[in-house]
A and B are shown apart, each in its own frame.
Chain A
Amino acid sequence: NAGVMQNPRHLVRRRGQEARLRCSPMKGHSHVYWYRQLPEEGLKFMVYLQKENIIDESGMPKERFSAEFPKEGPSILRIQQVVRGDSAAYFCASSPKTLNYGYTFGSGTRLTVV
């Protein structure tokens, strides 16, 4: 069991470009969560998805950010027209059912906008 796989580990984008972050949940996990972490900060919730459904996107900025979890393939967090303030570590987590089982986190994608 490979755990939660995120790629790329590091991503550098110029201002105005698009960033695509991928997350493959653990086998058997149907719930995916995306979090953002700024240096020396805790994790901020962004979005919670199940297969083909966005369940809670209350933490997503209203513009430029979108997420999907298609029937086949990984979950994708997309950031359009990146700005310097988007630089952060983005973590994906998965769980089998509900929060009673805790999350399994990936190693994160560190996005740097130059």
Chain B
Amino acid sequence: SQQGEEDPQALSIQEGENATMNCSYKTSINNLQWYRQNSGRGLVHLILIRSNEREKHSGRLRVTLDTSKKSSSLLITASRAADTASYFCATDEGGSEKLVFGKGTKLTVNP
């Protein structure tokens, strides 16, 4: 089943700008996670936010979670060309032991 749905599917910005990606999900969750995937590589875990948290920061990353709307956003501030990648949200569907991923947002940061 497709739990997380990222929006937009693709995003192209200039270096230095901020990038915002959104994720919506359908069932109750214990936590929501964001991952990055560079082309042809595995996924890298970026940040995990628990269902009782509303906002979390890690470096240039800021994640928000709104459980009433079943949505999350990932903000990358002061983007760099090296941030070019696909970004996926993932949830533990109904509190299960597996993660369900969305189709991702493809971010391109132009130098």
Contact = CB atoms under 8 A, between A and B. Distances in A.
Contacts of A108: 41-42
A59 to B, nearest CB: 8
Interface string B85-102: 000100010001111111
B98 A45 contact: yes
B98 A56 contact: yes
Contacts of A91: 42-43
Contacts, number: 63
Interface string A13-32: 00000000000000000010
Interface in A60-114: 91, 93, 98-108
A75 B33 CA distance: 24
A60 to B, nearest CB: 12
Nearest to A41: B103
Given A91-B42, A102-B33, 15 more contacts: A4-B42, A33-B99, A35-B101, A41-B103, A42-B88, A44-B101, A45-B101, A48-B98, A56-B96, A56-B97, A99-B31, A99-B98, A101-B48, A105-B35, A107-B41
Main secondary structure of the interface of B (DSSP, over half): loop
Contacts of A107: 41-42
21 contacts: A4-B42, A31-B97, A33-B99, A42-B102, A42-B103, A43-B101, A45-B100, A56-B97, A59-B98, A91-B42, A99-B92, A99-B97, A99-B99, A100-B30, A100-B50, A101-B48, A102-B33, A103-B35, A103-B99, A104-B45, A108-B42
Given A42-B104, A99-B30, A100-B48, A105 B43 contact: yes
A55 interface: yes
A99 B94 CA distance: 12
A91 B101 CA distance: 13
A15 B13 CA distance: 43
Nearest to A47: B98
Contacts of A105: 35, 42-45
B43 A43 contact: yes
- Which 5 A-B residue pairs are closest in the complex by CB-CB distance? A105-B42, A102-B45, A42-B103, A42-B101, A43-B101
